Structure 1
Amino acid sequence: MVFSTDREIQNFKAQEKRYSVKDKLNNGLFIEVKESGVKSWHYRYTFEGKQERLVIGRYPDLSLKEARQIRDESASKVAKGISPKQEKEDKKAGRLKSVLFKDYGERYLNEVIKKDRKNPYNLVLYLNNDIYPFIGHIIVNKITTEDVRRVIWRKKEQGYDASASQVRGLLKRMFDYAVTLGVVPFNPVLAIPTRHVFKNKPRDRYLTTDEIRQFYTTLLNSRIYRPRKLGLLLSLLTLLRKSELLKAEWSHIDFEKRIWLIPVTKADSKTGNSREMVVYMSDQIIEILKELKTIAGDEPYVFVGRKSGTHFSHNAFNTSQKNALRLTDIPDFTIHDLRRTASTHLNEQGFNRDAIEKCLNHSAVGVRAVYNKAEYAEERKEMMQKWSNFIFSVIYEPNLIFFNQAKKHWQVECK
């Protein structure tokens, strides 16, 4: 198929597959018609023994006459030993080289992160809170290893080694892409090995009964925002992950059936899929949620953010936990360690191991995974109530003032 006039080009219609039509009068000039009907100009030529293709522009934004003119100019460059495609890419890279890191970061966010990640929320937080404020104003190819080191070590000095490693990983991927685009000649992050930032070790930290009493007595009697205190208490009582608490919605909670649905949980490390889970609510969990409902009003989230329709920020519980922990002599622990705390105590108290794993929303492995399909609903209901009773027998009396501040007193059944 060939063309020689604008009228012929206008008559080309979209087909099931994209196709190209050659200009009868100009060697190497084609118009490509996509399945959507979009038409674009291309110039194909041989440079140093290899075929290259230059995308010229869309039709009718560029007329046949204009496309032919660009084709002729490009053919002249090829004859002089210049690759039109490479020249175009060099100009594009040159423009990028003069942009600020924040502007480049927004491009990376749209072209890479949002395509690879279903939920880029945490990465956007790192960009806005930990990266842009310190190097966002610097031109991309002017950023040094020392600039990067300062950003990463700031998180380490705050005591967030794991987060520092996440920041390092994000910066490394961003500069990898910048090298690919020709924006920078090398990746400055490579001079800072991951092992020097954070070495992941299997954690075995859990709170003893005395530590549970001391931490929650300190927390509940502190001046920390009350819903945050209640959230940290729910973390221990429900065995939920922090992200599952943060994103909890009232529409997922059925007070009559005493069920709390978690529709989206952390993705399974092997399958990459999220598993829906159910929390069977104890009397104490229900009363805590009722107080939070009074505070939340008509807001959709259990833990209401600063703006209507939003939930607590990613670091809200972390900040409160660390602030309370500083007021004690308890060794450091994380919010995630509260799940291990619950699991350890429940196993020590003789509850069914599989029922505990279901409350943690862990998947079984090996033969157990094949044959054990039980959900242990009744066992989990009983276990969750006894677990709440145990925790309240430990923390209730030292915190009478806190619990009496609720509109409805919590009735505690202690062993």
Structure 2
Amino acid sequence: MTTQLLPFTDKSVKAAAYLGRGLATEYRIEGNPGLVLVVRKPGLSQTSSRGWRFHYSTQRDGRQIKRRVGLGDYPRVTLSEARRKSADLLERVKTDGDVVEHERAKRQITDRAALTFGDLLDDYLEARKDLARIKEVERELRKDAIPALGAKHPALITAGDIDEVGRAILNRGSKAMASRFVMHLKALYNFVILDQPSLAERYGITSNPAAMLGRRRRGAGGSYTKPKARERILDDPEIAKWWRALDDSEKRLGTKLALKLVLVTAQRPGEVRRVRKQDLHLTAAEPYWIIPAEHSKNRRQHYVPLSHLAVQLFTEAAAASSDSGSLFVFPSPDDTEHPIADVVLPSAQRDLFVNTLKSTTPATVHDLRRSAATGMRRLGINRDTVGMVLNHTAKGVTAEHYDWHDGAKEKRAALDAWARHLGRVFE
């Protein structure tokens, strides 16, 4: 880009021409340090537009950095106005240094101040979208965190703010939900600080306000400590009573079959409700179900041998959903491109005990899986095999890195034995 010296007159500014090299010709204005007229390359109209800039240089880490600040186009910004603006900037450079960097920092502060926890949650959910249970995390945080904290700046949220929401959840009688709420917030802030420092910088987050929430000295319980593991197990008479009540209920057929399959296959409710028709191999010599890694809690593909009872239930479910054209065995009645929602099975199970099995101690959907595991142990099936059926992650170097035996034969024997036992229970 060519730079020329131009007298400080309107006549010379109007007469300044593009000299035919580069995108523009620059003219320094005589007697006005840093003030530059830019005559741009002519466009289709064969005329050159003109604009004003202020040029200055600054030092950073021993390096010279050149800056350019636009002052507007001529003649909208007159020569006198350009001189005044450049003189003001020259004084600021002398007193403040790099004014461009200062303005950028001010804009960053202003933009950052407008950000909210709701914005951060959206960014977090997008970054963690591949987590198996991220939809559950989103549902719980949007239910409790957004109404109370959504409009707050995430860097200004305190442990007290989080505790206030946690106490409200505790007061409605849900210690497990309160514990998960605090756990989700700890995980969110830790992820931003440790795994996404660019997000931490954008939001100005330097610490985790939930980090110490609920901790206690050794031997003392905390408000948000993890609830004691559930121990509800249905015995054989309770299983028979539950099965009959489910059959007699007015719930949708798909819901009934999905609940039964949690008990029969001992798989997680979320894995059952999301089963795709392509993952089932019901007519194979030895029928089986493949749970893909993206649907599995431990992110490993899981081979589930199917007993005669499981095949019967899956066949009935697939037939019932055949007209929907859905990929899923248990499609949502509102949107067949998705499986039934994660609240459907827990809600149906809860309703069954509230309205039908009133004299029976309530059991959750997950308790059905626990009952299946315990039932297999009572039949003499060893703990390792039951663990493989449940797709629990084995501990230890050998199990985690070297032993990839999926126990297909052992799992089939265990699930066949459990199905035979259930057949006797229902007689």
TM-score range, shorter chain: 0.5 to 0.7
Q: Do 2:175 and 2:227's aligned partners in 1 also have CA atoms closer than 8 Å?
A: no
Q: Which is worse superposed, 162-171 or 235-244? A: 162-171
- Aligned residue for 1:80, secondary structure, equals helix
1:231-270 matches, within 5 Å, as: 231-257=258-284, 258-264=287-293, 265-268=295-298
Query: C-alpha separation between the residues in 2 aligned to 1:366 and 1:144?
Result: 38
State how 1:5-404 maps to structure 2 within 5 Å: 45=58, 77=92, 79-81=94-96, 84=99, 85=101, 87-98=103-114, 101=116, 104-110=117-123, 112-119=124-131, 120-133=134-147, 135-136=149-150, 138=151, 140=153, 148-149=162-163, 151-153=165-167, 155-156=169-170, 160-171=174-185, 173=188, 181=202, 193=214, 195-257=222-284, 258-264=287-293, 265-268=295-298, 274-297=299-322, 298-305=325-332, 306-326=334-354, 327-331=357-361, 333-366=363-396, 369=399, 374-394=405-425, 396=426
Q: Percent identity?
A: 22
1:93 to 1:357, Cα distance in 2 relative to 1, 3 A: same
Counting matched residue pairs gives 347
Query: Cα 1:234–1:181, aligned 2, differ >3 Å: closer, same or farther?
Result: same
Larger Rg: 2
In 2: Cα distance, 1:123 partner to 1:355 partner: 31
Listed one character per residue, the Cα deviations across residues 201-259 of structure 1 (whole Å, up to 9, x for unaligned) are: 44544332233234334444333333222212111111111221122100111111111
Residues 266, 389 of structure 2: 8 Å contact kept: yes
CA RMSD, 1 decimal: 4.7
- My pick for the range that moved more, 384-393 or 243-252, is 384-393
Q: Do the aligned partners of residues 56 and 248 (structure 1) sit closer, same or farther apart at CA in structure 2, a change above 3 Å counting?
A: farther
Instruction: Report deviation, 1:381.
Output: 2.5
Distance 1:354 1:166, change over 3 A: closer
Q: CA deviation at 1:284?
A: 1.5
Partner Cα separation in structure 2 for residue 339 and residue 249 of structure 1: 20
- Equivalence for 1:64: none
SS in 1 for 2:365: coil
Residue segments in structure 1 that go unaligned for 5+ positions in a row: 11-24, 27-42, 58-68, 269-273, 398-415
Residue deviations 1:305-341 (CA, integer Å, cap 9, x gap) = 1212011212222222222233434445443333332
Q: Secondary structure at the match of 1:165?
A: helix
Relative to structure 1, the CA distance from residue 373 to residue 308 in structure 2 (aligned partners, 3 Å threshold; closer, same or farther) is closer
SS of the residue corresponding to residue 392 of structure 2 reads: coil
The alignment's TM-score, normalised by the length of structure 1, stands at 0.65
- Residue in structure 2 matched with residue 410 of structure 1 by the alignment: none
| Alpha-carbon separation, structure 1, partners of 2:87 and 2:364 | 66
Q: 1:123 to 1:372 in 2, by over 3 A?
A: closer
Query: How far off its partner does 1:347 sit?
Result: 1.7
Please give the per-residue CA displacement for 1:7-66, whole angstroms capped at 9, x wherever unaligned. Answer: 7799xxxxxxxxxxxxxx99xxxxxxxxxxxxxxxx99558x899999999xxxxxxxxx
Per mean C-alpha deviation after superposition, the further-off stretch among 173-182 and 202-211 is 173-182
Structure 2 unmatched ranges of 5 or more: 4-19, 25-32, 35-55, 70-82, 194-198, 216-221
Name the TM-score, length of structure 2 as normaliser.
0.64
The change in CA–CA distance for 1:367 and 1:118 in structure 2 (over 3 A counts) is closer
Over residues 81-122 of structure 1, what are the superposed CA-to-partner deviations in whole Å (9 max), with x where a residue is unaligned?
Answer: 4775465344433344346x4xx5235423x44234524433
Helix, strand or coil: the match of 1:300?
Answer: coil
Distance 2:340 2:420 in 1: 28
Contact 1:97–1:184 (Cα < 8 Å) also in 2:
no
CA distance 1:243–1:227, shift in 2 (3 Å): same
